[in-house]
């Protein structure tokens, strides 16, 4: 490694403010940082004792995503890798350009955005749509607000929302059938489990949902891998367990409770009908949790520490409201999936939730 | 061709201010509402700009020539009546000669009355300055409004409909960006326009300057 260190040292003068490539200093530092710890040391207290920095957090998230990525390549073919590549290239360009203009260091937050974005798109999304989406997400979702740590909305979701609204036909039709790329199935594209449930009232079996052999967004179908990755994130304390747990719990409770209430008001008088209603509602609740992208959204996007509340009670409120909105949008609106909308809406009111929680706590302490 | 030789020192300054330095949309953020709503197609943008320029000039002539007669307490009402009269003329002309454009613009023609550029220039400039300068100011501000609308509309029409003035300009496999056809999409385009022009003109955001 000594020669590599010398190589960096020999290049460094060019990237100093007066050097010939001074305007690319952030890029140089970012590349150096991949191999070595930064040369800068904290000069005065507090000194950093834990090597756990933003880069390590991001690495852990990517490790947690690996099962989903592997499964998505298995289901939807090497095209997924191409989508990730495009996402990284375009988004990285925006990130580097802004860092060079602002003369700040390049933040590692982008590594997660760049990999999550292709995972929440339909598998047949054209590559130029991936490029437009990630450009918009990073540009308007993050850089306009001041870069990593200053964004109000999850950048990947901002990009996804934009392409959904801008290219509705592409984004609602690209549901490649899993395995179609290696000729394992005849169908080229099939309806997603959520669409089947909405239009034909067909609930996909739980085991199928867990193993992920249905159509859906690239990274959302292998639910077992998502659950494992999500638990890994919670155990390493990278994500707070409160948001995923309350989100997923709320989706189940509202789907189950809503169906039961609806059935009771619809007139299920005798005992047999009531029993059937409860069993049906239970199945519906489980389906609402496993189907679509609730798991992926809850485990990897809702709990993003930048865009979610920081108070503990606020996290519970955030998760429960996300769950309520998801069920409401899924059941009552024209859209088949509501995870994306619910998380973005709750991102917007996240700071308000924090404010409410803090002021209530403060009032109680004063009284 | 020196502006100063033709319009005099003050006239040249008025024109420069209106068109660039005190640009009504990017500097004063006036007239944003109609700029968002009506800039989805170039022909609408042209019709809207023509209407606004006409009303602006009419208002500037009437207000600035009557400026010594208008009592301060009722000046806003006088502006409104003048502007409303001009807008009614525009509305009727559009309805009579360009019915399709009139239909496409719908309520936005009568809403020129509430266009803050006209009201704002009347209060800021026409009421204090003689007609010759006021007309220059009205033209400059109107032109600034017009070219802004045109730039945004050209961008939006190409991306959202694949056309320019109704003529197809994009390749056959072009996919329309539906979001830019809606007023919501205009926010992004106007945002970038404001960003670029403010950076170039060196206008500080409020609160920082």
ipTM of the complex: 0.78
Q: What is the pLDDT of residue A53?
A: 64
CA distance B167 to chain A (A): 21
> Which residues in chain A are contacts of B179 at CB distance < 8 A?
162, 165-166
Burial of residue B37, with CB atoms counted within 10 A of its CB: 0-12 exposed, 13-18 middle, 19 or more buried: middle
For residue A167, the chain B residues in CB contact (below 8 A) are 175, 177-178
**Least Cα separation, residue B141 to chain A (angstroms):** 29
Q: How far is A337 from chain B (nearest CA, A)?
A: 19
Q: Pick the more confident residue, A35 or B58.
A: B58
- Burial letters A94-106, b for 16+ CB under 10 A, else e: bbbebbbeeeebb
Neighboring chain A residues of B175 at a CB cutoff of 8 Å: 167, 169-170
Q: How far is B175 from chain A (nearest CA, A)?
A: 7
Q: What is the pLDDT of residue A212?
A: 76
Which of A316, A313, A305 shows the shortest CA–CA distance to A360?
A313
Read off the pTM.
Answer: 0.81
Of residues A341 and A196, the one with the higher pLDDT is A341
List CB contacts (< 8 A) between B177 and chain A: 166-167
Under 8 Å CB-to-CB from A4, ≥6 apart: which residues?
A: A35
CB contact residues (below 8 A), chain A span 168-187, against chain B: 168-170
Whether A193 and A292 have beta carbons less than 8 Å apart is answered as: yes
CB distance B9 to B133 below 8 Å: no
Residue A178, CA distances (Å) to A175, A190, A196 in order: 9, 9, 16
Report chain B residues whose CB lies below 8 A from the CB of A162. 179
HSE-up of residue A1 (Cα within 13 Å, Cβ side):
3
More confident residue, A277 or A224: A224
Mean per-residue pLDDT, B3-15: 79
A162 in B contact zone (CB under 8 Å): yes
DSSP state of A299: I
For residue range A164-173, what is the model confidence (pLDDT) as tens digits?
Answer: 888 888 888 7
Q: Which residues pair with A189 in a beta bridge?
A: A176
| Two tokens, residue A193 | 């489990």
Q: Are A344 and A156 in contact (CB under 8 A)?
A: no
Tens of pLDDT, residue by residue over A66-100, are 999 988 888 888 889 999 999 999 998 998 888 88
Q: Give me the residue label for tokens 């891998």.
A: A225
CA distance B5 to chain A (A): 41
Asked whether the beta carbons of residue A167 and residue B188 sit closer than 8 angstroms, the reply is no
Interval A122-133 mean pLDDT? 90
What value does the mean pLDDT of chain A take?
A: 82
Q: Which of A165, A169, A170 minimises the CB distance to B179?
A: A165
């Amino acid at each position: 490694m000594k020669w590599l260190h010398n190589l960096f040292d020999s290049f460094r003068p060019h990237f100093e403010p007066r050097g010939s490539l001074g305007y690319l200093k952030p890029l140089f530092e970012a590349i150096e940082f991949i191999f070595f710890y930064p040369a800068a040391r904290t000069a005065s207290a507090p000194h950093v004792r834990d090597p756990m920095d933003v880069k390590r957090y991001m690495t852990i998230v990517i490790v947690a995503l690996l099962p989903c990525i592997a499964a998505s390549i298995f289901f939807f073919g090497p095209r997924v890798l191409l989508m990730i590549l495009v996402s990284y290239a375009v988004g990285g360009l925006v990130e580097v350009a802004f860092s060079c203009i602002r003369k700040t260091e390049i933040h590692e937050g982008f590594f997660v955005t760049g990999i999550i974005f292709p995972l929440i798109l339909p598998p047949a999304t054209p590559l130029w749509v991936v490029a437009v989406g990630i450009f918009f997400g990073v540009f308007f979702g993050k850089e306009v607000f001041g870069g990593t740590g200053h964004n109000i909305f999850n950048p990947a979701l901002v990009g996804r929302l934009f392409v959904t609204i801008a290219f509705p036909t592409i984004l609602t039709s690209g549901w490649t059938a899993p395995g179609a790329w290696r000729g394992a199935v005849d169908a080229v594209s099939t309806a997603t489990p959520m669409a089947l449930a909405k239009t034909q009232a067909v609930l996909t079996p739980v085991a199928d949902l867990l193993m992920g052999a249905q159509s859906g967004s690239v990274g959302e179908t292998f639910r077992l891998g998502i659950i494992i990755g999500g638990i890994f994130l919670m155990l390493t304390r990278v994500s707070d367990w409160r948001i995923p747990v309350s989100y997923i719990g709320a989706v189940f409770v509202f789907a189950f409770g809503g169906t039961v209430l609806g059935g009771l008001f619809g007139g299920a008088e005798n005992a047999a009908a009531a029993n059937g209603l409860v069993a049906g509602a239970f199945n519906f609740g489980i389906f609402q949790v496993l189907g679509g992208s609730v798991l992926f959204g809850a485990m990897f996007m809702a709990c993003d520490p930048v865009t979610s509340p920081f108070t503990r009670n606020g996290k519970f409120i955030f998760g429960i409201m996300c769950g309520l909105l998801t069920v409401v949008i899924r059941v009552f609106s024209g859209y088949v999936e509501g995870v994306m909308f619910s998380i973005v809406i709750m991102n917007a009111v996240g700071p308000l939730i924090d404010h409410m929680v803090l002021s209530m706590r403060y009032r109680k302490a004063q009284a | 061709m020196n502006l100063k030789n033709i319009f005099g020192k003050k006239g040249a300054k008025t024109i420069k201010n209106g068109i660039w330095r005190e640009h009504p949309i990017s500097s004063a953020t006036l007239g944003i509402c109609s700029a968002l709503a009506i800039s989805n197609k170039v022909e609408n943008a042209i019709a809207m700009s023509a209407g606004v320029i006409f009303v602006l000039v009419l208002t500037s002539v009437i207000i600035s020539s009557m400026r010594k007669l208008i009592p301060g307490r009722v000046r806003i009402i006088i502006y409104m009546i003048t502007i409303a009269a001009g807008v009614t003329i525009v509305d009727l002309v559009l309805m009579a000669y360009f019915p399709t454009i009139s239909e496409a613009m719908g309520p936005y023609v009568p809403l020129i009355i509430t266009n803050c550029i006209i009201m704002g220039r009347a209060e800021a400039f026409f009421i204090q300055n003689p007609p010759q300068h006021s007309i220059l100011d009205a033209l400059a501000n109107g032109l600034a409004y017009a070219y802004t609308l045109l730039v945004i509309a050209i961008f939006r029409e190409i991306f959202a409909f694949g056309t320019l003035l109704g003529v197809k300009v994009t390749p056959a496999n072009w996919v329309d960006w539906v979001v830019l056809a809606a007023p919501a999409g205009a926010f992004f385009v106007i945002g970038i326009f404001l960003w670029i022009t403010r950076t170039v003109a060196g206008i500080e955001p409020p609160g920082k300057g």
